Amino acid sequence: MSVVYSMQHRDPRDEDLIKGATGDWEIILGLEVHAQITSQAKLFSGSSTAFGAEPNTQVSLVDAALPGMLPVINRYCVEQAVKTGLGLRAQINLKSTFDRKNYFYPDLPQGYQISQFKHPIVGEGTVIIDLAGGRSVAVGIERLHMEQDAGKSVHDLSPGYSHVDLNRSGVALMEIVSKPDMRSSDEARAYVTKLRTILRYLGTCDGNMEEGSLRADVNVSVRRPGEPLGTRCEIKNVNSIRFIGQAIEYEARRQIEILEEGGSIRQETRLFDPKAGETRSMRSKEEAHDYRYFPDPDLLPLVLQQADVDRIAANLPELPDDKKARLMSDYGLSAYDATVLVGEAATADYYEAVMKSGSKKRDGKIAVNWVTGDLFGALNREGHTIEASPVTPKQLGELVDLITDGTISGRIAKDIFDSMYKTGRDPLEIVEKDGLRQVTDTGAIEAAVDAIMAANPDKVAQAKEKPALAGWFVGQVMKSTSGKANPQVVNEILARKLGISSDN
Amino acid sequence: MWVTQTVLKNQNKGTLMSVDQDTVRRIARLARIAVRDDELPALAGELNSILHFVEQLNEVDTKGVEPMTSAVDVTMKMRDDVVTSGNLQKEVTANAPKSEDGFYVVPRVVE
Amino acid sequence: MMSDLTKLTLAGARDALKAKEITSNELTGAYVKAMEGARGLNAYITETGDKAMEMAKASDAKLAKGEGGALEGLPLGIKDLFATKGTLTTAGSHILDGFVPPYESTVTANLWRDGAVMLGKLNNDEFAMGSSNETSYYGPVINPWRRKDSDAKLVPGGSSGGSSAAVAARLCLAATATDTGGSIRQPAAYTGTVGIKPTYGRCSRWGIIAYASSLDQAGPITRDVRDAAIMLGSMAGYDEKDSTSVDRPVPNYEAALGQSIKGLRVGIPKEYRVDGMPAEIDALWTRGIEWLKAAGAEIVDVSLPNTKYALPTYYIVAPAECSSNLARYDGVRYGLRVEGKDITDLYEKTRAAGFGPEVRRRIMIGTYVLSAGYYDAYYLKAQQVRTLIARDFANAYAKCDVLLTPTAPSAAFGIGEKTSDPLAMYLNDVFTVTVNLAGLPGISVPAGLSSDGLPLGLQLIGKTFDEETLLRAAYALEQAAEFKAEPKTWWTA
Ligand SMILES: [Mg+2]
Ligand SMILES: [Zn+2]
């Protein structure tokens, strides 16, 4: 795309500036994200979109651009584009048109890509990105349009030849074009992360970057703070969030180096090589682009009814920003915790299931720590998705209850959680069977304290002098009770017996 | 009354732009049609005469006129998201000048 | 007896088959023989005689049982722009060398559904670009008509020159054709046949090799108006595989014939009376007006002020679309391939060798008018003028029901006579191209002979999707004109 778009004014943050040899530089970033619409069939043909099939087995006569073949649009893909537009809080255009982008390439059988150039289905919108320290930035969306994906060429099957597979040819894509509103690689990464979250919430794109369902063209330019925009380079088809960050860092430094040496930036298309960690000019596409866009005469204008848009809007799922705000107000969560939870709808769903299972009102903060702490840790370690967690939300809720009502100590709770994760047993069952109930009976704890004090008179004397040494006694008591003693009760009794303040 | 023959004869009066040989070469390149240098002058002449002919449209006042997008005044129908075609590897490669293991084969495309 | 069979019209043959007076085997056999004997006309690129005889056999079996469709057992010729499953399909171009489609165009599939028999694939201008059938890679088609006292070879019109010549020379009962700027009506006029281009969207374009998508439309070339009505009824219909196909029922066109045209308002657009038009064409037009008036029609003078801009508009829009439509012919998936040192070299060599000069010329023009910086000045401007041309017709139709004009500014001309001047060639379509730009239906009816003894046609233009009125008026015109002349069969070996 090469559209002229407005950008928001932002005063540069010092930490975003790159310190060059001759002064500070500001990075200006705009992204074009290609997101594959999760549909059964292609945008203009009835071929399957399934990933990984044998070459050219998912190629219809239309996809192979045989003479006389014509495109017919997939309604579901149109609805998914509208849904995505609504999720980006963007303008939905009731009338849009399809244009042909003409160029020759072996993976482009028609000799043109059907895209939307002049009148896209979705206009301006906004994505709020969430950054470290609870900072948020609104990134403008310029437009979203539908287009066809191209096929794939394999270059290493025989020397001197490329092998063309058109299975992807014609798969429906949404190209989501941002305004040049990002100022650091962190922001760009946060943007793609957030966009992917939104797409997954909506179910319009699976966001799978390894299979190419989501890929980004990154437009990078640099300028002195406050000066007009510099010449940009477009880094094509970056297919991981990490690479996006690396590509930007490399490219910005490359441009700054050229400028500081008195050179100028040539507007061009570049490729990121993850192995070398650098961007390279794409010489094969160097030739002057002249795509000769014009309205596709095989397709009529795409006209939507407001009622259809309203129906899609009415069935929109709760979006991440709304969910975040609700989690904060419903469960007293911090912005940070809420952001972590809404990153994946399934995580937030799990958390809410923890909070809602059972009859007891639970402390949202304790619950979020268990979900994002021990549970995430275990899931990561075992390579489980949250949907496949061996610990159910109900069980985790019960564990939280056992801690809150003093049945078990926080320390013991960690062991119980591990056992729950391994065996899938309920926490109460583990507590009862393994005798892990917390001892709050002061008599039993006093007896344990007395026994330890009697066996260590020298330590008693030292602790009376130096109250900080009382901690040693706590550890010994917990050891002798297998960790079941209520630590608060232990502290109180020890303080009384040693004659020191209990709140150290 | 308008005069077809005159339209043709008056081609050399005021025109928008004129195509030179470099432009012909560039256009041929865009269209991926090999053109020999010795063909350029004749081609430039032909293209110019056709362009001069069509530039008559400059006389027409089209301010505020919507360009025609379709000859039929209907809205586009859409199809359901159903897979209706598959496993045509043989059919779609049967006419290929060069194919191998179900792929189309072309000279190596370097990226 | 056998040679007489080819004298029947489509309707006549249909009725004779139904009445079991003849068999499709006899009828088809007669045409296969005629086709073989007329190779000098070069009307067919591919003859499928064996297939025809098989299809005839199947039809006879149906007819014997009193079954069969509207075209059961009727042998037809198919323009080589229609993809025919298992049969070489070339569009008259070298670049489609050896191309055998694994699919059947919707229009031809409709014909086979109704029982028709395929005789072969008819020659045409390369990718339908031409007005004389001289741009075909397979060589020009010769018009069966000759000037009085001359054996000069004449063009059959284009781009459906194989279709018009084959129908006129009785090498098929009727033929399919396509019309982008006049390619059905103009060759019909040059050969004394009837050609109808229906409303854009009436016939599916699926499986027809595209020239200019927003203008291309299929239709038949036939012996008379009744045959045209029958053929169109079978070819037309909504097709969900073509987004520009229009979903409305196909009327019984044949039923519209013979109905009175009393009170029908016939518009005469004054802008079609151009300077430099042969007097005999003007006279023919005047005669046409008189005939319709005599049949009860009301003659109304109308104005189509933007008519003179139709041809330049066409020569922007059509090349622009063709430059994109023909990008798929790249030597990778089908057709001709000329190897090159890299992919670009392969593309350039293949397309330079595969396309003839007229196709290359139009691709270049189209590429230019769409290129950066020129789009607004040419393409956008042309599409705006197109709106004005369509508006002219809408205004005229407030006052009339059909329009009457000449079909072409001259009779058939000699082979090679206009090939050196593309623009002079383009002028052949001056009366027909407006109809394509506005998406309207138009029909050419043979209405008389030139002083040289060559057929001349009159064109009727209808309202959108009002082919019934158009055919009704055409039938009345045909009745009045009583055109009975036939070319002498000089070509038989
Ligand atoms: Mg891009
Ligand atoms: Zn794109």
pLDDT tens readout for residues A17-30: 999 999 999 999 99
pLDDT digits (tens, 9 = 90+) for A437-467: 877 778 888 888 888 888 888 888 888 888 8
Q: Please state the domain extents for chain A.
A: 28-217, 318-434, 442-498
Burial readout C420-434 (b: 16 or more C-beta within 10 A, e: otherwise)? eebbbbbbbbbbbbb
Residue A175 CA: distances (Å) to CA of A115, A122, A160, A195, A289: 9, 10, 33, 12, 19
Which one, of A59, B79, B82, lies nearest residue C245 by Cα? B79
pLDDT digits (tens, 9 = 90+) for C247-282: 999 999 999 999 999 999 999 999 999 888 899 999
Structure-block tokens of residue A485: 């003693």
Average pLDDT over residues A3-23: 83
Cis peptide before A48 (omega within 30 of 0): no
pLDDT digits (tens, 9 = 90+) for A218-275: 999 999 998 999 999 999 999 999 999 999 999 999 999 999 999 999 999 999 999 9
Q: Do A59 and B89 touch (CB under 8 A)?
A: yes
What is residue A373's DSSP assignment? I
Using an 8 Å CB-CB cutoff, list chain B residues near C98. 95
Average pLDDT over residues C440-450: 98
pLDDT of residue A1: 47
Rounded to whole angstroms, how far apart are CA atoms A268 and A285? 9
Q: Classify residue B23: in a domain, yes or no.
A: yes
Residue A502 CA: distances (Å) to CA of C5, C128, C155: 120, 99, 114
Sequence-distant (6+) residues with CB within 8 A of B64 are none
Strand arrangement of the beta sheet that strand C117-122 belongs to? C44-47, C117-122, C75-79, C174-179, C217-222, C194-197, C442-449, C455-461, C402-406, C265-269, C298-302
Confidence class for position C335, pLDDT limits 50, 70, 90: very high
pLDDT over 70 at A504, yes or no: no
Using an 8 Å CB-CB cutoff, list chain B residues near C246. 72, 74
Q: What are phi and psi of C88, to 5 degrees?
A: -45, 130
Sequence-distant (6+) residues with CB within 8 A of C121 are C44, C45, C46, C48, C77, C78, C79, C80, C82, C84, C87, C88, C89, C90
Q: What are phi and psi of C97, to 5 degrees?
A: -45, 125
Which of B86, B89, B106 is closest, CB to CB, to A164?
B106
B:5-64 residues touching chain A, CB 8 A cutoff: 30, 32
Strand ranges inside A229-314, DSSP E: 233-238, 269-273, 278-281, 294-295, 302-303
| Ordered structural domains, chain C, with CATH | 1-493 (3.90.1300.10)
pLDDT digits (tens, 9 = 90+) for C192-228: 999 999 999 999 999 999 999 999 999 999 999 999 9
Average pLDDT over residues B59-84: 93
Lowest mean pLDDT among A339-348, A354-363, A473-482, C387-396: A473-482
Which one, of C326, C375, C374, lies nearest residue C352 by Cα? C326
Using an 8 Å CB-CB cutoff, list chain B residues near C306. 60
Q: Classify residue B37: in a domain, yes or no.
A: yes
pLDDT over 80 at B2, yes or no: no
Average pLDDT over residues C448-477: 98
pLDDT digits (tens, 9 = 90+) for C115-172: 999 999 999 999 999 999 999 999 999 999 999 999 999 999 999 999 999 999 999 9
Q: Classify residue B30: in a domain, yes or no.
A: yes
**Which residues make up the environment of ion ligand 2, defined by Cβ < 5 Å?**
A 175
**Which residues make up the environment of ion ligand 1, defined by Cβ < 5 Å?**
A 32, 217
Q: Classify residue B74: in a domain, yes or no.
A: no
Count of domains in chain B?
A: 1
Could you tell me which chain B residue has the CA closest to the CA of C365? Answer: B47
CB A37 within 8 A of CB A173: yes
Which of A70, A110, A294 is closest, CB to CB, to C370?
A294
Confidence class for position A476, pLDDT limits 50, 70, 90: confident
pLDDT digits (tens, 9 = 90+) for A120-163: 999 999 999 999 888 999 999 999 999 999 999 999 999 999 99
Q: Do A284 and B111 touch (CB under 8 A)?
A: yes
> Is C79 one of the annotated active-site residues of the chain?
yes
ipTM of the complex: 0.96
Which site among C85, C324, C359 would you substitute to test the A interface, given the most A Cβ atoms closer than 10 Å to its Cβ?
C324
Angle between helices A442-455 and A457-465 (to 10 degrees): 100
Which of C208, C327, C372 is closest, CB to CB, to A110?
C327
Q: Do B51 and C201 touch (CB under 8 A)?
A: no
> Is C183 one of the annotated active-site residues of the chain?
yes
The whole-chain average pLDDT of chain A stands at 92
Q: How far is A120 from chain B (nearest CA, A)?
A: 15
Q: Classify residue B51: in a domain, yes or no.
A: yes
Q: Classify residue B93: in a domain, yes or no.
A: no
Torsion sign across C-alpha atoms A435, A437, A443, A447: positive
Chains near C with 3+ CB pairs less than 8 A apart are A, B
Confidence class for position B1, pLDDT limits 50, 70, 90: very low
CB-CB neighbours of B52 under 10 Å: 22
CATH code where residue B18 lies: 1.10.20
Which one, of C316, C320, C325, C313, lies nearest residue C438 by Cα? C313
Average pLDDT over residues A416-427: 94
Rounded to whole angstroms, how far apart are CA atoms A192 and A186? 10
B86 near A CB under 8 A: yes
pLDDT over 60 at A4, yes or no: no
Catalytic residue among C24, C79, C131, C245: C79
pLDDT digits (tens, 9 = 90+) for C370-403: 999 999 999 999 999 999 999 999 999 999 999 9
Could you tell me which chain A residue has the CA closest to the CA of B67? Answer: A295
Q: Classify residue B11: in a domain, yes or no.
A: yes
Which one, of C388, C366, C389, lies nearest residue C213 by Cα? C366
Confidence class for position A288, pLDDT limits 50, 70, 90: low
Catalytic residue among C24, C105, C136, C159: C159
Rounded to whole angstroms, how far apart are CA atoms C225 and A236? 59
Look at the pTM and tell me if it is higher than 0.95: no
Q: What are phi and psi of B43, to 5 degrees?
A: -60, -45
What is residue A261's DSSP assignment? T
C:427-446 residues touching chain B, CB 8 A cutoff: 427, 430, 437-439
Q: Classify residue B108: in a domain, yes or no.
A: no
pLDDT of residue A360: 83
Q: State which residues form the domain around B14.
A: 2-58
CATH of domain A442-498: 1.10.10
